[in-house]
Amino acid sequence: MPVPLRSMALAALFTATGAIAAGLYLNNQQPAGKSAPAPEIWVLPPAQAASTPSTSNANSMPTLAPMLGKVTPSVVNIYTKQRVKVNNPLAEFFGGGRIPQERIAQSLGSGVIVDAARGLILTNNHVVEGADEVSVSLSDGRTFEAQPVGSDPDTDIAVIRIAATGLQALPVADSSKLRVGDYVVAVGNPFGLGQTVTSGIVSAVGRSGLQGLGYQNFIQTDASINPGNSGGALVNLHGELVGINVASFNPRGSAAGNIGLGFAIPSNLAKEIMRQLMAYGEVRRGSLGIEAETAQTQSEPATKGAWVSRVYRGSPAEAAGIKPGDVIVAANGQRIDSADALSNLEGLLPLGVPVRLEIVRGSQRMNISAQLRAQPKEQDAGQLDPRLAGAVLIDLPERYKQTGMRGVIVNKVTAGSRAARNGLEVGDRILVVNRQAVNDLNALRARLSQNAARLELGLARGRQSGYLEMR
């Protein structure tokens, strides 16, 4: 059963004018991101394992202190400031009108040094997103201003950089080798208390289905993860990074404290996201080129999968022989029990890697190999229909799709353009084209390819919705 949205809190801690919130909930509006950095080719250095902690002599008590002595210098505290405008109700009451005032919203989290020579730090996107100022405090007491390198909201990974010497990077382990039951240690800055260490075991791997957290392949642990731990390190007993801590769960909300359900982004995924951010300035994802719905197969009612409702012309799915009506039940040996599970897997796979699909077609089971193809993140709407000229469209971020939200976002509208004259505005969410629902850009392209004489868009604008005829 999906986790209720209100129950999942990111493990960052936010303050505003001295007030501390229990956690950042995923249905909060996301602040605008910053411009993409210049591409830079970068390769993560391989892990060089430290020795497994042990007792120094027969009379000593077991301790993790020697291992942690090597780990903690690599884990940093991150502090951010963001200028926000709020209305002063007293000024409005006394006739001063709605006069916005500027306040400083502060937040804190954690990060991990992974490249000492370049001062590169891995953290969570939600720790630094929208921040006007980011400062990093090291374990030796030094503090530095940090600069953004790149971020990926849909995996909640960000990379920042500090100009500092004498840094110590944390070796990165192969997280695919983690097993349920392996001991792990979480290091971070919970509640702004300063560097804190908690321990536990790996409770599950490959965890997904948590609403509002984008593409998911989480490590679940019972090591205590609290607000402020976001972006901190999850390490094995060799002192190697196996995950980036991201969230905790409590049915009563984050204010109720930790109950042993914490989640971390696997180091392999974080490493790949970082590689792409450094190489391209963005994360490049691909798609099979299908529309799918969650369904049970008619031939095997107990088997769930992603039912293919449409295959786009010229898509990787068409080239692989996938047909409408097929049910995808597994990909690369991983069970696919819903359309969201298939979308999640697409978002996590690197481009150019073949995907082995298990498909149910009628009463037959078959294996098909396909290769994901990159899809543009933006679409010049005028190329799809001249009545939309001047508008630029983007897909919804995956973290919003995980909440059940659907549609296509109007990201830009050129002043005086045909789209502007027709009434389109930045922030509009297109839900319907000529009475046909559109869930994403691919579906919108398909609907507009019909070249209908009349073009009517169903929109959501803030809390309002309605139809707009494009002329």
- Active-site positions read 126, 156, 230
- Residue in 457, 450, 409 with CA at minimum distance from that of residue 433: 457
- 11 and 247 Cβ atoms separated by less than 8 Å: yes
Cα(401)–Cα(225) distance, integer angstroms: 25
Distance CA 162, CA 146 (A): 5
Strand, helix or coil at 272?
helix
Question: In a 3-state reduction of DSSP, which class is residue 173?
Answer: coil
CB-based contacts of 95: which residues, under 8 Å, 6+ apart? Answer: none
d(CA 178, CA 207): 13
Cα 162 from Cα 185, distance rounded (Å) = 25
Name the burial class of residue 52, with classes exposed (0-12), middle (13-18) and buried (19+) by CB atoms within 10 angstroms of its CB.
Answer: exposed
Alpha-carbon distances of 361 from 175, 187, 369, 372, 419, rounded to whole Å: 35, 48, 15, 21, 43
For residue 205, which of 184, 233, 227 has the smallest C-alpha distance?
Answer: 184
Half-sphere exposure of 466 (CA within 13 A, CB side): 8
Do the beta carbons of residue 266 and residue 240 sit within 8 Å?
no
DSSP letter string over 8-64? EEES-EEEETTEEPS-EETTSPPPPPPPPPPP----PPPP-PPPPP--SSTTSPP-S
